[in-house]
Structure 1
Amino acid sequence: MRTIRGWFRETTGDLPVTFWYLWTGTLINRLGSFVLIFLAIYLTRERGFSELQAGLVLGLWGVGGAVGTTVGGTLTDRWGRRPTLLTAHVGAAAMMLALGFARDLWTLAAGALLLGLFAEAARPAFGAMMIDVVPEKDRLRAFSLNYWAINLGFACAAILAGLAAEVGYLLLFVVDAVTTLTTAVIIFVKVRETRVVGAATTGAVHTARRGALRTILTDRIYLGFVALNLLSALVFLQHISMLPIAMGEDGLSTATYGSVIALNGVLIVAGQLFVPRLIRGRSRSHVLALAAVVMGVGFGLTAFAEAAWFYGLTVLIWTLGEMLNSPSNSTLIAELSPAELRGRYQGVFSLSWQVAGASAPILGGLVRQEAGNVTLWLGCAAIGGVTALFHLLSGPARERRAASLRRPAVAAPEPATVPVPPVPQVAKAATPAPTR
């Protein structure tokens, strides 16, 4: 019992109050994250669109998300974390309702575009706020706890969404909008602005504004890291776009897909809190390479799946890779981002998810339609292997860059502390990101 208590204190203790409000908002938002999970099924079965048309709508969601993360990153650094989060959440809730009532293809496409824009604009602000409030020594477990909340909500949402879809798909859009608004209320009431711009930092911020784009575009180490995440995301997002279609063609119901994909969240909920201790002190490039291989194997085995239990097995395998990937990714983003450009660096990283969100369903649908189901999933396995190789090759340079950015931060005085009383998916990606 003492061991359990000690582990619990080590995992959750001494984190800022603001973090827990952010964590609560994440959990509530993810509990209602129905729409993206079942959008491909909704478009093909309920609305009668082809796989390619469904891929187009999902792709436009990704295009909107790409714009959203870019704009959101800039607003996060210039306007502030809190107002960006509030605007993004309220806009996303409104567009979810609009998408639920849309009927023709182009209205659905426009709704998906705008939904992606608003929903993903929250990601850079949320990521920057997390880095603002959590000290560097606590970030690995803080990001793991947040990822745990994402997947606890996702596991529940996947099962509930499968049941709710049997009642009516409109219910999915309504519940998703309500939970998104609830998250906005938590931010409005409990979370204060965390961006600190004092006299000592004003000049740096002005310089950053003038040269931000040039700084990011010439940061080859960071862009290489973003490119590798893009490859992983192209594979990972097939679980939203092509997996439900493949399972449907094997005669499996919507509820079965919901139960199978819920295994992803259940496994993460059961094991994610132990991952920080497992990978602590290990080479992050090796952990990321292993994660890419495991994810590739899991998705590759989908080529041979026909029964629900086999699909469930593939989900369990690639989920293990996801669990290794997420905390290492999150801490690297934080350490590779200059403080004055934190929002925009977060935005560029989120952009890789949105590019994948735009292209994964289209590419997946095209490959599946032209070359077949087996080729699609074996191609995912090959991408995982290539990604792993490049993580091993680029890892040392990333760690040197992270160390060089940490040194000035140690020498400089700490900025004013974040206010004490003191929180945002739509894709697990997306994240999500979620926003999976």
Structure 2
Amino acid sequence: MSSSAVQPPLSSDSDSDTSSPSSSSTHHRHADLSSSIFQSYLSHSSYPHNDRNQDLIKIQSFLTSSRSGALSCLICLERIKPTDPTWSCSSSCFALFHLLCIQSWANQSINLAASRASLRAAVVPDENSLVWPCPKCRVEYRKTQTPKNYFCFCGKVQDPPRDPWVLPHSCGEICGRSLKYDCGHFCLLLCHPGPCPACPKLVRNKCFCRKSEDVKRCGFKNFSCNGVCKKLLECGVHRCGEICHDGSCLPCKEKGTYKCQCGKVETTRECCERDFRCDNACNRMLGCGRHVCERGCHEGDCGDCPLQGKMTCPCGKRAYEGMACDVAVPLCGATCEKMLSCRFHRCSERCHRGPCIQTCRNVVTKSCRCGSLKKQVPCYQELTCERKCQKVRDCGRHACKRRCCDGDCPPCS
């Protein structure tokens, strides 16, 4: 008795839309089986609705499109055949592209970015700073991440062989990629397009407030017990009255009567705002008995009188010992020489009280922004010329035309 060998279904890479009734019925049976499997998984996995849409439904859509040959490259808009080398965005959208198309896209994007950067800065940009975006989700990849070879969806097999029993562009082995949230488990689906679903393993975990424990799917092990949180708040006095929640507790909102830091003002405030300052000056008597504290509302001791002890003249060149804190320090008569606001020259006035002059009038030789004019002007004065910049803007067509341009030409609008 001989058994007939099971032959794989014949496949074709042509773009013909015609198919035999048997292949059509087989496709429908596969689609029905896939739908039933996913529906069963969804109904027993306790997935939140939004995550279900983001993960499993996306995977099912990718599988259906790959099996039916409905995937198209968004760059050339041609159908992706089962034998075409491909690349998929693994960061966000998981869209599939022809390998040659994405290589051309990446190189053109990098060359354009490099030319724009060189026009703006007049220097060759660092290659590590050049990036190219995914054509669909615009996630940026570095130049070194430009794909060079054709890999299966899970990335383990280079140039995966065409197998009529295996999904196109898949190696047919277990995916094995790390699942979301770094739970320590790996994807057990066969090599597949799209994102990996959340981890379905059952684990025991505590709720956010740590009072209740339950068995949950690993991908959704963090849960709320719907009880009152009752964690001790930052104030160290009151406890959280919110429903069991993720993250830090809200600031304490308990009302109470509190005093400001200097103790002069008493008011009713929320506990989280109990440490506050009033608008009054401290005015407490300092240790010298002659002066009062001129600081604003503050806590703690006011400290020693700042006018006691060793004092200097306003320019700081001469020191005086043992002077009473209520005696004005005499001027030394020397040149002030404090640094002016220009940060280049010093004050030429004699030792004086109060701030130094703000406008430095020392005559210096300056260059304009574009470097075409040099002239002696007061230090505080900015020097500009009337020359119009002739550099080409980043559009590559129009000149800058800005007066006395510093070389950083604005983008073409």
TM-score (norm. length: structure 2): 0.21
More strand by share: 2
Higher normalized contact order (CA 8 Å, seq sep 6+, divided by chain length) = 1
More helix by share: 1
TM-score (norm. length: structure 1): 0.20
Larger C-alpha radius of gyration, 1 or 2? 2
